[in-house]
Amino acid sequence: MRLPQKVFKIDTYLPPGDAFHFIRKTLPETPPVLEHSHDYYELFLVEQGQVHHWINGLEELLEPGHLAFIRPHDRHALQAAPGTGGRILNVMFRKPTADHLVQRYAADMEGKFFWTKAEFPASIRLAGPQKERAVNAMLALQSSHRSLAMIEHFLLSMMTHVLDATARAQDRAPAWLIHAAHAAREPRVFRQGAEGLIAAAGRSQAHVCREARRHLGLSPTQYVNRIRIQHAAMMLSGTSQPIANVAEDCGFENLSYFHKLFREQYGTTPRGYRQRHAKSAPIDAPI
């Protein structure tokens, strides 16, 4: 399953004279989830709850204190994990600001933070005083003048003071798990359940289970079932197929089990979801 995609433009969100955009937002728990790239840089911090993050084909579960440096070409989407009240602090700024900083402070920043050449953007998990410093620094933007001087001061502070020498980028999932997680979003794989993901990983069931829980926050069965139910939700809102056919198309032979999982994930029955979302249009949002 591919998420709807869009490219966001910073001029849509910045009034004349502003150098950055800041928002403190509680994320929705239900679709539509809009995968997007940008023409700007973005820094977000998970303040509370848990957040599902789709990033360049990988889905990961983020905890409070997780800080991500999103580059313009990255494709990502965010959604709160059900029942957790996932909330983020988010700041967006123009490319020339980033270009200026990395040129002026190349020795300290080139190849790091926003300027890594890796497949996935830099990601740091903060805790304790570091997390508090980061939250306070970001919340200070909420009431500040949105000037170029302010955003440059903030970014320099974050990358030299808040993220002191003990902070380092977190290792994301191994390549084989990324491949398997990406493959599991295809119907031919997720219809097989957890067995499809494990086969795509090419590793033992025990090893896949251990690494999936570590990096995705879910067992292979839970991960694949989330994808299957998301696919079902998309079909319910976008087609008129009978619910039993939707369940079968997603790989569920037991209709009662399908209803149970759907209610757990969306807080309503498949029929109730269809009635509520069948005519809903995707919500555009800059995060």
**Single-letter residue type at 248:** E
CA distances from 182 to 133, 162, 283 (A): 35, 33, 24
Could you tell me where the beta strands, DSSP code E, fall in 123-247? Answer: 123-125
**Single-letter residue type at 20:** F
**Single-letter residue type at 257:** Y
User: Nearest to residue 163, comparing CAs of 115, 190, 126?
Assistant: 126
- Residue 268, classified by CB atoms within 10 Å of its CB into exposed (0-12), middle (13-18) or buried (19+), is middle
Return the structure tokens found at 178. 């990324």
CA distances from 23 to 88, 142, 143, 249 (A): 8, 7, 11, 39
In contact, 10 and 258? CB cutoff 8 Å = no
Q: What whole-number distance in Å separates Cα of residue 156 and Cα of residue 169?
A: 17
Please count the other Cβ atoms lying within 10 Å of the Cβ belonging to residue 39.
Answer: 14
The answer to pTM > 0.85 is: no
* One-character DSSP codes across 151-186: HHHHHHHIIIIIS-TT--PPP---HHHHHHHHHTTS
In contact, 46 and 62? CB cutoff 8 Å = yes
In contact, 159 and 109? CB cutoff 8 Å = yes
- Residue 48, classified by CB atoms within 10 Å of its CB into exposed (0-12), middle (13-18) or buried (19+), is middle
pLDDT tens digit at each of 287 positions of the chain:
445 578 899 999 899 899 999 999 999 987 667 788 999 999 999 999 999 998 988 888 899 999 999 999 999 999 998 889 999 999 999 999 999 999 999 988 888 899 988 888 988 888 777 888 899 999 999 989 999 999 999 999 988 877 754 444 445 678 898 889 888 888 999 999 999 999 999 999 999 999 998 878 789 999 999 889 988 988 888 889 999 999 999 999 999 999 999 998 888 899 998 888 765 434 344 55
Residues 6+ apart with CB under 8 A from 58: 120, 172, 173, 178, 181, 182
